[in-house]
Amino acid sequence: MTTLNNKEHVVILGAGPAGLATGHELSVSGVKVSVIDRNNFVGGLCNTNVHNGYKFDLGGHRWFTKNEDLNNWFRRLMGSEVVWVERISRIYYDGGYYSYPISILNVIKNTGLVTIAYAGLTYLLSALQYSVFNKPIKNMKDAYVAQFGGKLYDMFFRRYSEKVWGLPCEKLSSDWVSQRSAGLSIWTVIQESLLKTKSDNESLIEEFMYPRDGYVRIPERMAEDIVAKHGAEAIKLESTVTRIKYHGPNDFEVVYSDANGAETSIPATTVVSTIPLGVLPRIMEPACDQAVIDAARGLSFRALVTVNIILKKERVSIDTWLYIQDEDIIFGRLHEPKNWSKAMVPDQSTTSLVLECFCTKDDHIWSMTDEEIGQRCIEDLEKKLKFIDSSEVIDFTCVRTLQAYPVYDLEYADKIAVIHDFLAGFEGLHIVGRGGTHRYNNADHSIEMGLLLGRKILGYEVNHMDVNTEPEYHEIKTSRDLKRDYYVVEEECN
């Protein structure tokens, strides 16, 4: 193990879960860290917005990981703040409600035996094509069809995926499916829903942990520990990193500007970046060449407008999430924060909803005013879903997020490879996190990556880049799940 000397200063770009986890792991070991974020809050995409006492996550965020050791770390961090939430997710499709993950019995109930027989036939056909004749899987559509057959793909995956990504599934990489649902076979679905023979070692998750006062409490807890160890100046908010000057191995200068545009430069022996991988190479000095700039510009994100509605009504739905397939409804997913934790609303005779409208900067949704998006959401809730009466709406707000979903187009992996080659020339620079690696991470992945990177910087032989590459479906718990004893234990934290 390398011993870091007291001149070591690790500068972390971004105070989202990944940056804070790296900072947490290093600071509990006594290493000086500075975490810099452009926002005026910590948490990145895991923020919880508060409006008149109502708390709204940026889309429903649950805590779930198959890594029991990480769960233990999480429980130590959050102490008594954790609540357990029963998971009830449904898909709204052509006017009907279907349970999610898909249940065969439920599909039969909603659509009848003819549809399920047709779904079975298309599955057999795709099994023949992809498993027997080895038809190549070239894109997201192929990956879903190979796993579920053409009919179930069309019913449950095509429209929602296209709503999230704004592109036809043929133009998206199959990697997203393999990261999200590899190992989820049609047989698991049948076993779960039809035979109800959940074996001891394999089942779809039915409850999850959640911080009582909103998801932002996870990054806030990490930030509290960092500040307790190194003082408030360890976390610099409203500070946008604009340049990183490299003077040689482990010798950097990080330049950031505050809300008034005033620039500050701080020295760093190690730099950890969670800012988008498409941005980082373009702020490095010495500068990159045109091929790297082109690759970096090519890594895009889907944006998100979340509409947070407060309602004079005790409850709207039973769901933790409701996925909306239908294109004529502007939002793609909704959740009712009260169903996750009662503390999310200040008055239990009222409730609230968070509606996620997926979009791209400057497209027709992004270009609508907050008032227009809000009113359209209320109209869809009232007239199409029949969930509310518009007179029950007390208030609404909109939150706009530009870098919500890293897009996996068909060339994304090649572009990432070009950027990795360039960044490899900067000794002491590390990338981590969702936008930081352009990888579709959940918060637990970003935290796990951050903790491992902290360990790596401390000299342990671990590779944070392995996280979220396991070929196992995230939502199936099995007895084979990883148990890694990498994280600092409680005694060391004190």
Ligand X SMILES: Cc1cc2nc3c(=O)[nH]c(=O)nc-3n(C[C@H](O)[C@H](O)[C@H](O)COP(=O)(O)OP(=O)(O)OC[C@H]3O[C@@H](n4cnc5c(N)ncnc54)[C@H](O)[C@@H]3O)c2cc1C
Report angle CA 444, 448, 452 to the nearest 5 degrees.
170
Contact range with ligand X by CB under 6 A, out of 36-44, 103-111, 133-141, 309-317: 36-44
Chosen residue from 10, 15, 116, 429 binding ligand X by CB under 6 A: 15
Label residue 202 exposed, middle or buried (CB < 10 Å: 0-12, 13-18, 19+).
Answer: middle
490: part of which helix (H) or strand (E)? helix 490-493
- Can residue 475 be called a binding residue for ligand X (CB under 6 A)? no
- Can residue 443 be called a binding residue for ligand X (CB under 6 A)? yes
Contact range with ligand X by CB under 6 A, out of 7-15, 225-233, 334-342, 478-486: 7-15
In the complex, what is the shortest distance from the CB of residue 24 to ligand X, in angstroms, rounded to a whole number?
Answer: 12
Most distant pair of Cα atoms in the chain: their distance: 71
Chosen residue from 4, 10, 11, 13 binding ligand X by CB under 6 A: 13
- Can residue 241 be called a binding residue for ligand X (CB under 6 A)? yes
Contact range with ligand X by CB under 6 A, out of 23-31, 339-347, 383-391, 428-436: 428-436
Beta carbon nearer to ligand X, 149 or 276: 276
Residue spans of beta strands (DSSP E) within 4-108: 9-13, 32-36, 48-51, 54-57, 82-86, 89-93, 96-100
- Can residue 44 be called a binding residue for ligand X (CB under 6 A)? yes
Beta carbon nearer to ligand X, 32 or 62: 62
Q: Looking only at residues 360 through 389 of this chain, which bind ligand X when binding is defined by CB under 6 A?
A: none
Chosen residue from 188, 191, 441, 468 binding ligand X by CB under 6 A: 441
Alpha-carbon dihedral 21, 23, 27, 31, rounded to 10 degrees: 140
Beta carbon nearer to ligand X, 272 or 310: 272
- Can residue 48 be called a binding residue for ligand X (CB under 6 A)? no
- Can residue 434 be called a binding residue for ligand X (CB under 6 A)? yes
- Can residue 45 be called a binding residue for ligand X (CB under 6 A)? yes
Q: Helix, strand or coil for residue 379?
A: helix
- Can residue 27 be called a binding residue for ligand X (CB under 6 A)? no
Task: Give, in order, the Cα–Cα distances in Å from 302 to each of 250, 256, 258, 400.
Answer: 34, 26, 27, 11
- Can residue 250 be called a binding residue for ligand X (CB under 6 A)? no
- Can residue 281 be called a binding residue for ligand X (CB under 6 A)? no
Tokens of 477: 């718990």
Ordered strands of the 284-285 beta sheet? 263-268, 251-257, 240-248, 284-285
- Can residue 35 be called a binding residue for ligand X (CB under 6 A)? no
- Can residue 58 be called a binding residue for ligand X (CB under 6 A)? yes
- Please state, in angstroms and rounded to a whole number, the distance separating the CA atoms of residues 46 and 219: 8
Q: Residue 260: how many CA atoms within 13 Å on its side-chain side?
A: 2
Please count the residues of this chain forming the interface with ligand X, following the rule CB under 6 A: 35
- Can residue 38 be called a binding residue for ligand X (CB under 6 A)? yes
Residue type at 22 in one-letter notation: T
Contact range with ligand X by CB under 6 A, out of 56-64, 94-102, 111-119, 311-319: 56-64
Q: Which residues of 276-306 are buried (b: 16+ CB within 10 A; e: fewer)?
A: bbbbbbebbeeebeeebbebbebbbbbbbbb
In the complex, what is the shortest distance from the CB of residue 163 to ligand X, in angstroms, rounded to a whole number?
Answer: 13
- Can residue 433 be called a binding residue for ligand X (CB under 6 A)? yes
Beta carbon nearer to ligand X, 280 or 316: 280
- Can residue 16 be called a binding residue for ligand X (CB under 6 A)? yes
- Cβ neighbours around 243 below 10 Å, total: 15
Q: Looking only at residues 94 through 113 of this chain, which bind ligand X when binding is defined by CB under 6 A?
A: none
**Bond from prior residue into 17 cis (ω within 30 degrees of 0):** no
Beta carbon nearer to ligand X, 275 or 393: 275
- Can residue 429 be called a binding residue for ligand X (CB under 6 A)? no
x/- map, 320-359, ligand X, by CB under 6 A: ------------------------------------x---
In the complex, what is the shortest distance from the CB of residue 237 to ligand X, in angstroms, rounded to a whole number?
Answer: 9
Alpha helices in 233-345, H assignment, sequence order: 290-297
Tokens of 132: 């027997």
Contact range with ligand X by CB under 6 A, out of 32-40, 132-140, 146-154, 259-267: 32-40
Beta carbon nearer to ligand X, 186 or 277: 277
Tokens of 274: 């969670």
In the complex, what is the shortest distance from the CB of residue 350 to ligand X, in angstroms, rounded to a whole number?
Answer: 23
- Please state, in angstroms and rounded to a whole number, the distance separating the CA atoms of residues 55 and 307: 12
Label residue 167 exposed, middle or buried (CB < 10 Å: 0-12, 13-18, 19+).
Answer: middle
In the complex, what is the shortest distance from the CB of residue 299 to ligand X, in angstroms, rounded to a whole number?
Answer: 13
Identify whether the C-beta of residue 33 lies closer than 8 Å to the C-beta of residue 294.
no
3-state secondary structure 291-317: HHHHHHHCCCEEEEEEEEEEECCCCCC
In the complex, what is the shortest distance from the CB of residue 272 to ligand X, in angstroms, rounded to a whole number?
Answer: 11
List of residues contacting ligand X (CB under 6 A): 13-19, 36-39, 44-46, 58-62, 240-241, 274-275, 304, 356, 404, 433-436, 441-444, 446
